[in-house]
Amino acid sequence: MIEIPSKLEGKTFLLNVLEQELKPLGYVIGGNWDYDHGSFDYKMADDVGYQFLRIPFIAIDGQLDSYGATVELKRPYVLCHKYQRGLDDNVHIGNINASFNQFSEPEDPDATVPDQYVAMAKTLVKDLEERLLR
């Protein structure tokens, strides 16, 4: 994980406004959200694992699943998840189990981020600053 300092840190927005701005650009709300925190993730590549730019946020007024929630942005960072090639060796055979356990486990969930993706993330953050802080 590599942090990207940003002018967005500490800024507050209505969550639905952020969604309207960021989703058309390819950002999605990451699957790691809870009622009081979450992140917008941008998948930059998947050639050496998955490289993501993550924009974390916390709820400061309301819960994330309610309309009108206000969030505060935290420091963006880049992360890389490196996956094994092929199917998971630990999959248990069986119709039900196989349908849920068919994907490989991470080889390294916090792999080194190649320099090119750090540079790309810095550009993406700068673009977000210009778009959201106009």
Q: What percent of the chain has pLDDT over 90?
A: 55
Q: Which domains does the chain have, with CATH numbers?
A: 2-83+105-133 (3.30.310.100)
Specify the higher pLDDT residue, 124 or 100. 124
Is pLDDT larger for residue 24 or for residue 86? 24
Q: What is the dihedral of CA 118, 79, 16, 25, to 10 degrees?
A: 50
**Where is pLDDT greater, at 115 or 25?**
25
User: Across residues 30-35, what is the average pLDDT?
Assistant: 82
> What pLDDT does residue 131 have?
95
Reported as a single tens digit per residue, the pLDDT across 57-114 is 999 999 888 889 999 999 999 998 776 555 544 544 444 544 444 444 444 555 678 7
CA distances from 87 to 51, 82, 102 (A): 20, 14, 6
Q: What is the pLDDT of residue 47?
A: 76
Distance CA 26, CA 39 (A): 13
Measuring CA to CA, which residue among 23, 24, 40, 20 is closest to residue 32? 40
Does the pTM surpass 0.85? The reply is no
Give the list of residues 6+ apart from residue 97 with CB closer than 8 angstroms, or none.
91
